[in-house]
Amino acid sequence: MKKMNILLTLLATIVSAGCEQEFKIVDTDGENRIYIEFLPSTLSDWHELTVIGAKSINNGAQNDISSYDIKVRLTADGEEVTLEKDNTYRATYMAYHHFEPGQTISIEAEAKGYSKAYAQCIIPEPVKEFSTKVEKGEDYPDEIKVTIEYPDNPETKDMYGAVMVQEEWNEAQMTGFIDAVNLQMSYNVFDESAYRTMTLRGKKIAYWNDAQVTENGRQKITLSFSGVKNGPDVTYRFKVLMLKTSADFYRYFDGQWDKESNILASMGLASPTFTFTNITDGLGILGSLSHTESEWMENPL
């Protein structure tokens, strides 16, 4: 026991000394960059765009700009898309536009003292045909499982996703409420979950690539979430928003997941992870997705 106390004292001393150690981050004298985050989709006709100046650590006192000093231009197939300033957050614009699959989205931003940032992406073609099966799960109480079967071309690298939507209908009040459910990652004994989850615009999205086995040109994925049993006046039903994401969208979310969902994150630390960016001479992400809706499915609970 005495040896254990000595070891603990030595460890505490080392940790304490380590916390007081000064250090300098080197190679941080790079140029200031413009940060862009824009994830257009076919899910909605309003799209949030964030543009802000990102200052180099050792160059922070120079070229300090506000978002109003940044000139931003957004186009869809060469036609300019109108941007409106969001008064709730100075770095945010709202783009009210109906994007179509196959459209080329381009964005550029520039400001005095900053490199001109540029990016381009194409809205992917949606998954045009897929089937769904809903059933009661057995892994935890009130589990609902939805299996999606969809076509996949084994010759191409494709990225997918899904949002599960729930409708709550109150017959007595004749009112309904629709919202996305909180999808749960599903693990087997020896395998990782076939999909990961992230939150986008308040909706929990499951996303995955086409690494699963393709049989007869088709793949399957099973999503899991907690449901609620129907009551005398309140009933529930569900539908799938099947997503096709751009490769950049997938890589960005995968990097974010690795950064936020590791064992060190809960301790306020982070493991060495790569934060993906596809903004030329800038930072951030321009990614896109398209969607297809299923029919409504009845509550299996």
Residue 19 within any structural domain of the chain: no
- Displacement of CA 261 from its chain's centroid (Å): 13
Domain count for the chain, please give it.
Answer: 2
Please compute the mean of the pLDDT values over residues 25-37 and round it to a whole number. 72
Q: What is the pLDDT of residue 143?
A: 95
Whether residues 82 and 206 fall in one domain: no
Q: Kindly state whether residues 109 and 191 are assigned to the same domain.
A: no
Out of 67, 102, 122, a domain closes at 122
Amino acid 169: pLDDT: 93
Rounded to the nearest integer, the mean pLDDT of the chain is: 83
Whether residue 163 is found in the same domain as residue 245: yes
Structural domain includes residue 25: no
- Final residue belonging to a domain, choices 122, 148, 182: 122
Token pair, residue 4, equals 């254990």
Q: Are residues 268 and 143 in the same domain?
A: yes
> Does some domain include residue 263?
yes
For residue 93 the two structure tokens come to: 């614009």
Q: Is 14 helix (H, G, I), strand (E, B) or coil?
A: helix
pLDDT band at residue 66 under the 50/70/90 scheme: low
157-166, 201-210, 262-271: lowest mean pLDDT where? Answer: 262-271
Q: State the residue range of the domain holding 211.
A: 131-276+289-298
Report, as an integer, the average pLDDT of 126-150.
Answer: 94
Q: For 146-166, what is each residue's pLDDT tens digit?
A: 999 999 998 899 999 999 999
The model's pTM is 0.81
User: In this structure, what token pair is assigned to residue 230?
Assistant: 């129907």
Same domain, 152 and 112: no
**Are residues 92 and 158 both part of a single domain?**
no
Q: What CATH number did the domain enclosing 181 receive?
A: 2.60.40
| Residue-level pLDDT at 269 | 61
- Please check whether residues 66 and 215 belong to one and the same domain: no
Model confidence band, residue 18 (pLDDT cutoffs 50, 70, 90): very low
Instruction: Evaluate if residue 48 carries a pLDDT over 50.
Output: yes
Mean pLDDT across 132-151: 94
Q: What integer pLDDT is reported at residue 22 of this predicted model?
A: 58
Q: Which long-range CB contacts under 8 A does 25-28 form with residues at least 24 apart?
A: 25/57, 25/58, 28/56, 28/57, 28/58, 28/59
Residue 238 lies in a domain: yes
Within-domain flag for 18: no
Count of Cβ atoms closer than 10 Å to residue 182 Cβ: 13
Work out the average pLDDT over 34-60.
Answer: 85
Q: What digits encode the pLDDT tens for the residues 107-131?
A: 999 998 888 999 999 999 999 899 9
Q: Does residue 209 fall inside a structural domain?
A: yes
In a domain, 13, yes or no: no
Q: Does 93 lie in the same domain as 221?
A: no
Distance CA 160, CA 8 (A): 49
- Among 75, 91, 122, the domain boundary falls at 122
Lowest mean pLDDT among 11-20, 67-76, 123-132: 11-20
Q: Which helix (H) or strand (E) holds 7?
A: helix 2-20
